């Protein structure tokens, strides 16, 4: 609903805002509504919420006046309006017309995408304050005239570079005029600071020997150049928050950097941060964080760093210990992403390290990734470039590595799902080309996989906590394969998998590996079996490919998880089979009755156990949200099930944290607790195949936090045991 604004809503306490420091100006991109009866400049807004902090809830309310949109700032009681952009498209805030992304992209490519000031954030005496826009602030922002801006074309039609589709195909398009003025000014000042540092260093007594830093200098010039390197890094890093791809966090009341992952996604509303506000994203905070790192340096040891092509190593000693994190096929465009920072770093310190900054942009041609946009869109040529280079790199590493020490290879590339649905409604697991390529290169260069170390390398919080992203890197431990390694048939390989893989998977689970990481971690022990043979042959004598071997490993992982169903109670076995078909949706009573009988239970039984609900000819599983919070006690339940234990633990974890879940875990027998944990792995694997991300997160979180829950369980007070008849 829309209405006209009253004068007091548009009025602004100008005198108050002038006494406070502006933290940021919040802008919304705009395009023209395609509805000819409307034609307003419709704001594109992810969320109108400004602050979610308790007691300070604040939001923006759009107000339409004859197809002109104004913004008012609201607080206190009430509910913020929904954003105007979601994954399906946009919506005009004035007329309500659904607007497809095709229209938004066309407007952007035609140069008709604009921006409108939505709110002003200040630092007051009691924290952040939010105000409606002031025309004076808009005029000042529009008056900025940059003298330079980066000129660097971004890749087209690449999933990690979304802005070109909206008309922002150059790095220079990702900044406002005022941000460009600030960044170019800071960049120019680095050279001035370097000259001033040199003069101060001479006055302080350092040798005026004119030996540069790159030649090992330790005098006044080298000191000044070292300071300027850190200042140049600060300016380059500042671009991460001073661009139109940053976002405003309503939960933290601050700006959040553009690079939450290795991509340049499209954003709709964005903060323009004041670089002198002494707040997140400004110059002072950025330089202070670098200062803290410098203070923590251990400078008692000398070290050198050399940059070389890994496929043609020359300047490292033979028998070196090698640990590497290779590129991930086409997953990350490292060099293209580096340009975002390179264009600001180069003008600041190219005279300090001229050999590093010989090119105007980051070098692209030798980069070892599969990038079809560098081969006129030819995927075959891009893949061939990647595979040849990766094989050459591992051959080179093998020649330089020590026979006494393994090479360790970090890899955290999730296997993909196909879009093909099988007869049971599951997505098939696709053997990822990245995994296939790296394993072929490792094995083809003469290495065998000697072990697997799942290593927690990702933060448990932040942007990845809300998605089913990998929590660990898989460290492949490799040694040279003996020259006399035997050959094996496909049958021998499968027999070895069935014999050895379950024990390895059990060990991984006992180490509390997250369910989201289990499929990746299983590749290690599975490929260890495959790679210890010189060849694995099909029945017709042709080699069993790495892709086929990975498929067999995935099958054995599924079998291992399915076999765990047999060790649980009949009601849970029914629930797992029903979950595979219907999830938490309803199914026909007749189908449930047949399945329950096959699992040695009944529909009435699973309902009595609290596993499912039955009525009106329908049956539906009970999830953690359906249980009364904190009401269940395993000590009084006469029909205990692993299903109940698992979902009650999730309920306690989600509502009362590890403390609440620990109190419940303390009441479970060791066997039931182990079954609940194993069931979380099983249910996660089903969710992963079905694409049920929300449910998958619950099961993954239970396992990830299991250790903490166990610790809380140990701290729980012991419950008194019931006495006997005679004491």
> In terms of pLDDT, which residue wins out, 431 or 612?
612
Question: What mean pLDDT is predicted for residues 31-60?
Answer: 91
Among left, alpha and beta (phi > 0; psi -120 to 50; other), residue 159 is alpha
**Segment (H or E) for 407:** strand 407-411
Residue 157 has a pLDDT of: 78
Q: Has residue 631 got a pLDDT over 90? A: no
476 C-beta neighbours (distance < 10 Å), count: 25
Q: Has residue 325 got a pLDDT over 90? A: no
Mean of the per-residue pLDDT values of the chain: 86
Residue 433 has a pLDDT of: 65
Global pTM value? 0.76
Please tell me the least confidently modeled range out of 42-56, 445-459, 538-552: 445-459
Question: What mean pLDDT is predicted for residues 215-240?
Answer: 94
**Nearest-angstrom CA–CA distance, 69 and 42:** 7
**Nearest-angstrom CA–CA distance, 716 and 708:** 13
- Reported as a pLDDT band with limits 50, 70 and 90, residue 413 is low
Q: Has residue 389 got a pLDDT over 50? A: yes
Structure confidence by residue, pLDDT tens digits, 123-133: 888 888 999 99
- Reported as a pLDDT band with limits 50, 70 and 90, residue 416 is very low
Please tell me the least confidently modeled range out of 374-378, 468-472, 662-666: 468-472
Q: Has residue 720 got a pLDDT over 60? A: no
First to last CA, the chain: 72
Q: Which residues contact 405 (CB under 8 A, 6 or more apart)?
A: 321
Residue 484 has a pLDDT of: 92
**Segment (H or E) for 41:** strand 41-44
Q: Token pair for residue 101? A: 């992304």
Cross-strand pairs, 123: 21, 128
Q: Which residues contact 264 (CB under 8 A, 6 or more apart)?
A: 154, 160, 161, 162, 163, 174, 245, 258, 337, 340
- DSSP structure string for 275-343: TTSSSTTSHHHHHHHHHHHHHT--TTS--------GGG--SS-TTB--EE----TTS--HHHHHHHHHH
Question: What mean pLDDT is predicted for residues 241-254?
Answer: 90
Question: What mean pLDDT is predicted for residues 342-346?
Answer: 93
For every residue of 430-445, which 3-state class applies, written as one string?
ECCHHHHHHHHHHHHC
Structure confidence by residue, pLDDT tens digits, 422-433: 444 433 444 456
- Reported as a pLDDT band with limits 50, 70 and 90, residue 328 is confident
Question: What mean pLDDT is predicted for residues 393-408?
Answer: 86
Cross-strand pairs, 43: 30
Backbone angles phi, psi at 607, to 5 degrees: -70, -40
Q: Which residues contact 659 (CB under 8 A, 6 or more apart)?
A: 712
């Amino acid at each position: 609903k829309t209405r006209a604004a009253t004068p007091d809503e548009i009025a602004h306490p100008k005198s108050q805002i002038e006494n406070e420091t502006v933290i940021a100006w919040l802008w919304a991109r705009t395009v023209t509504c395609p509805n000819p009866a409307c034609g307003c400049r419709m704001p594109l807004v992810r969320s109108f919420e400004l602050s979610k902090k308790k007691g300070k809830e604040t939001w923006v309310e759009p107000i339409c006046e004859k197809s002109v949109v104004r913004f008012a700032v609201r607080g206190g009681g009430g509910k913020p309006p929904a954003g105007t952009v979601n994954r399906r498209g946009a919506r005009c805030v004035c007329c309500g017309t659904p607007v497809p992304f095709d229209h938004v992209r066309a407007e952007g490519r035609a140069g008709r995408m604009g921006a409108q000031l939505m709110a002003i954030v200040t630092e007051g005496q009691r924290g952040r304050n939010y105000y409606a826009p002031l025309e004076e602030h808009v005029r000042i922002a529009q008056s900025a005239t940059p003298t330079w801006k980066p000129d660097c074309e971004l890749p087209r039609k690449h999933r990690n570079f979304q802005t070109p589709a909206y008309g922002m195909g150059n790095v220079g398009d990702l900044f406002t005029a005022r941000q460009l003025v600030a960044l170019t000014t800071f960049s120019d000042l680095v050279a001035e600071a370097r000259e001033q540092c040199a003069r101060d260093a001479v006055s302080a007594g350092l040798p005026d020997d004119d030996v540069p830093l790159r030649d090992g200098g330790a005098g006044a010039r080298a000191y000044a150049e070292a300071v300027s390197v850190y200042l140049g890094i600060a300016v380059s890093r500042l671009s991460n928050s001073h661009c139109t791809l940053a976002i405003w966090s309503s939960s933290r009341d601050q700006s959040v950097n553009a690079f939450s992952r290795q991509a340049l996604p499209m954003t709709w509303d964005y903060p323009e941060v004041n670089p002198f506000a002494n707040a997140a994203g400004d110059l002072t905070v950025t330089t202070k964080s670098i200062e803290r790192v410098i203070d923590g340096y251990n400078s008692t040891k000398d070290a050198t760093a050399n940059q070389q092509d890994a496929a043609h190593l020359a300047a490292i000693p033979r028998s070196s210990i090698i640990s590497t994190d290779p590129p991930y096929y086409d997953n990350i465009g490292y060099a293209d992403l580096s340009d975002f920072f390179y264009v600001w770093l180069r003008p600041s310190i190219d005279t300090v390290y001229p050999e590093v900054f010989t090119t105007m942009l980051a070098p692209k041609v030798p980069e070892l990734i599969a990038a079809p946009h560098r081969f006129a869109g030819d995927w075959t040529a891009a893949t061939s470039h990647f595979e040849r280079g990766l094989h050459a790199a591992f051959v080179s590493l093998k020649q330089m590595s020590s026979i006494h020490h393994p090479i360790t290879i970090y890899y955290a590339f999730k296997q993909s799902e196909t879009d093909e649905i099988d007869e049971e409604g599951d997505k098939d697991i696709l053997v990822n080309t990245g995994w296939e390529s790296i394993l072929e290169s490792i094995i083809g260069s003469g290495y065998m996989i000697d072990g697997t170390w799942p290593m927690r390398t990702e933060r448990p919080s932040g942007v990845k906590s809300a998605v089913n992203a990998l929590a660990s890197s898989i460290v492949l431990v490799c040694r040279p394969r003996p020259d006399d390694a035997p050959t094996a048939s496909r049958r021998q390989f499968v027999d070895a998998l069935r014999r050895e893989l379950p024990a390895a998977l059990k060990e991984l689970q006992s180490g509390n590996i997250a369910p989201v990481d289990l499929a990746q971690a299983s590749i290690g022990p599975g490929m260890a079996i495959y790679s210890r043979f010189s060849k694995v042959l099909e029945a017709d004598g042709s080699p069993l490919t790495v892709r086929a071997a990975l498929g067999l490993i995935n099958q054995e992982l599924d079998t291992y998880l399915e076999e765990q169903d047999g060790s649980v109670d009949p009601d849970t076995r029914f629930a797992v089979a029903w979950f595979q078909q219907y999830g938490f949706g309803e199914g026909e009573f007749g189908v449930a009755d047949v399945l329950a009988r096959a699992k040695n239970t009944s529909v009435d039984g699973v309902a009595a156990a609290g596993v499912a609900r039955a009525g009106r000819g329908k049956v539906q599983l009970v999830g953690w949200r359906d249980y009364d919070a904190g009401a269940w006690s395993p000590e009084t339940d006469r029909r205990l099930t692993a299903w109940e234990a698992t979902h009650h633990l999730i309920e306690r974890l989600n509502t009362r944290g590890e403390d609440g879940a620990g109190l419940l875990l303390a009441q479970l027998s060791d066997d039931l607790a182990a079954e609940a944990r194993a069931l979380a792995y099983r249910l996660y694997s089903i969710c992963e195949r079905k694409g049920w991300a929300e449910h998958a997160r619950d099961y993954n979180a239970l396992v990830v936090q299991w250790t903490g829950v166990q610790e809380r369980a140990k701290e729980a007070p012991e419950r008194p045991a019931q006495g006997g008849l005679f004491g």
